[in-house]
């Protein structure tokens, strides 16, 4: 049987048409009409006024901090339970990240954030990470940021298509970053987008993303720039993917619901919660395994799946446990550490068939101690 991947790309059927248009028109690189259209369409979908298409979500986070003036001597609060790009972008600017634990929602804990910002007056920004397609509690986090006079940046790399209080993910911070990496809910093979209602900041980011070239007939530079723009060919791919985003969200939510129905009644298995204020995109379905109750630990399940050519993955290893960031401050940490120890991401691709999902479910059920299921 074919390998089951964690979150593979899922073509819409229009990719070849739009990519062929980009090639036949000779708008291959660096920019072109598909880039302009992709920016407009994504901004409209996210409910924001402005967007700039970039080479990755990491580039979007980096430019967000640069246009906010974050640099050496500054500190930035960051969710600990996240992919490394959230913290790495801070280091790129010369600023110093510190880490804040999650709460029972698995996203940034507003109370711990408040305590951290009270102790750290050099903090200039907060990067709040929407985890596995679930938005943070932005009302509470924005209130804390306003009280401490720090700017809120939304890492929405995993939450495109989700909503917070009925509003699309991406409009909750001063700036927000999306990712179109190959494993995301839609993909440009590699790419990202920086969005905001602040047109001046987006235009500054746009300039910086093309090596900060000044409007002159020769190459003139008065500030440091970066080679961060998305190509017209990849933007064409993104437009085809964006057309079917609601369908992809619906498919992943159905998969998540079925995992919960089929596995959630087993002793020792629970799933990432969904707040009543949010509707996640179910980018990845994530389970937590209690070994004592289930009869096997997360790693035993992962290895059993891998033995049948099925990809799964532990949750993000918290940043405060990463060797590179071992000497950085952390507030809390036990919640995310426990989730990493016992959490597993299950195959969640929007094209996953019911038969293949049944394969996954059967193997997980087979890992359980039968005496504990009586």
Looking at residue 29, its pLDDT comes to 79
Q: How far apart are CA 135 and CA 171, in angstroms?
A: 11
Q: How far apart are CA 170 and CA 175, in angstroms?
A: 8
Looking at residue 219, its pLDDT comes to 94
Looking at residue 9, its pLDDT comes to 97
Instruction: Render 241-285 in DSSP notation, one character per residue.
Output: HHTTHHHHHHHHHHHHHHHHHHHTTSTTEEE----TTEE---SSE
DSSP 373: -
Q: How far apart are CA 148 and CA 280, in angstroms?
A: 28
Residues 6+ positions from 234 with CB-CB distance below 8 Å:
188, 189, 190, 191
Looking at residue 371, its pLDDT comes to 46
Across the chain, the runs of DSSP E, i.e. the strands, are: 50-54, 75-79, 96-100, 123-129, 151-155, 163-164, 167-168, 175-179, 192-196, 269-271, 278-279, 285-289, 313-314, 330-331, 343-346
Token pair listed for 219: 């190459």
In terms of Cα–Cα distance, which of 98, 63, 345 is closest to 196?
Answer: 63
Q: How far apart are CA 96 and CA 77, in angstroms?
A: 9
Looking at residue 1, its pLDDT comes to 81
Q: What are the backbone angles phi and psi of residue 16, rounded to the nearest 5°?
A: -60, -40
Q: How far apart are CA 147 and CA 168, in angstroms?
A: 25
Looking at residue 370, its pLDDT comes to 54
> pLDDT 10s per residue in the chain (374 long)?
899 999 999 999 999 999 999 999 999 877 999 999 999 999 999 999 999 999 999 999 999 999 999 999 999 999 999 999 999 999 999 999 999 999 999 999 999 999 999 999 999 999 999 999 999 999 999 999 999 999 999 999 999 999 999 999 999 999 999 999 999 999 999 999 999 999 999 999 999 999 999 999 999 999 999 999 999 999 999 999 999 999 999 999 999 999 999 999 999 999 999 989 999 999 999 999 999 999 999 999 999 999 999 999 999 999 999 999 999 999 999 999 999 999 999 999 999 999 999 999 999 999 996 544 43
On the 0-12 / 13-18 / 19+ scale of CB atoms within 10 A, 149 is exposed
Count of Cβ atoms closer than 10 Å to residue 49 Cβ: 14
End-to-end CA, the chain? 32
Q: How far apart are CA 293 and CA 276, in angstroms?
A: 28
Strand order in the sheet with 343-346: 269-271, 285-289, 343-346, 313-314
CA angle 339, 82, 232 (to 5 degrees): 145
In terms of Cα–Cα distance, which of 139, 187, 183, 179 is closest to 159?
Answer: 179
Q: How far apart are CA 40 and CA 242, in angstroms?
A: 12
Q: What is the pTM of this model?
A: 0.96
CB distance 30 to 247 below 8 Å: no
Looking at residue 40, its pLDDT comes to 98
DSSP 368: S
Looking at residue 362, its pLDDT comes to 97
CB distance 287 to 263 below 8 Å: yes
CB distance 101 to 81 below 8 Å: yes
Q: How far apart are CA 154 and CA 126, in angstroms?
A: 8
């Amino acid at each position: 049987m074919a390998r089951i991947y964690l979150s593979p790309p899922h073509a819409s059927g229009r990719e070849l048409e739009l990519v062929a248009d980009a090639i036949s028109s000779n708008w291959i690189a660096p920019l072109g009409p598909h880039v302009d259209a992709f920016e407009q369409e994504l901004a409209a979908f996210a409910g924001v006024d402005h967007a700039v298409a970039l080479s990755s979500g990491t580039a979007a986070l980096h430019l967000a901090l640069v246009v906010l003036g974050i640099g050496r001597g500054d500190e930035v609060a960051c969710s600990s339970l996240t992919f490394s790009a959230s913290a790495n972008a801070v280091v790129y600017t010369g600023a110093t990240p510190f880490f804040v634990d999650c709460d029972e929602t698995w996203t940034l804990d507003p109370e711990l954030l408040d305590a951290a910002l009270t102790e750290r007056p050099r903090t200039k920004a907060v990067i709040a990470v929407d985890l596995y397609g679930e938005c943070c509690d932005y009302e509470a986090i924005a209130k804390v940021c306003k009280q401490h006079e720090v700017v809120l940046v939304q890492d929405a790399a995993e939450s495109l298509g989700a909503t917070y209080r009925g509003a699309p993910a991406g409009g909750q911070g001063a700036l927000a970053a999306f990712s179109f990496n190959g494993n995301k809910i839609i993909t440009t093979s590699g790419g990202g987008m920086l969005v905001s209602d602040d047109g001046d900041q987006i235009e500054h980011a746009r300039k910086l993303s093309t090596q900060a070239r000044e409007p002159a007939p020769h190459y003139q530079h008065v500030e440091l720039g970066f080679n961060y723009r998305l190509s017209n060919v990849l933007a064409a791919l993104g437009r085809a993917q964006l057309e079917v985003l609601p369908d992809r969200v619906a498919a992943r939510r159905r998969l998540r619901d079925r995992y919960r129905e089929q596995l959630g009644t087993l002793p020792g298995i629970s799933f990432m919660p969904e707040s009543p204020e949010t509707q996640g995109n179910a980018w990845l379905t994530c389970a937590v395994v209690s070994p004592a109750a289930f009869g096997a630990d997360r790693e035993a399940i992962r290895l059993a799946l891998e033995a049948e050519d099925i990809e799964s993955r532990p949750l993000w290893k918290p940043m405060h446990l990463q060797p590179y960031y071992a000497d950085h401050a952390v507030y809390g940490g036990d919640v995310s550490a426990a989730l990493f120890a016992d959490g597993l991401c299950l195959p969640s691709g929007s094209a996953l068939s019911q038969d293949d999902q049944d394969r996954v479910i059967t193997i997980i059920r087979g890992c359980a101690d039968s005496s504990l299921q009586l």
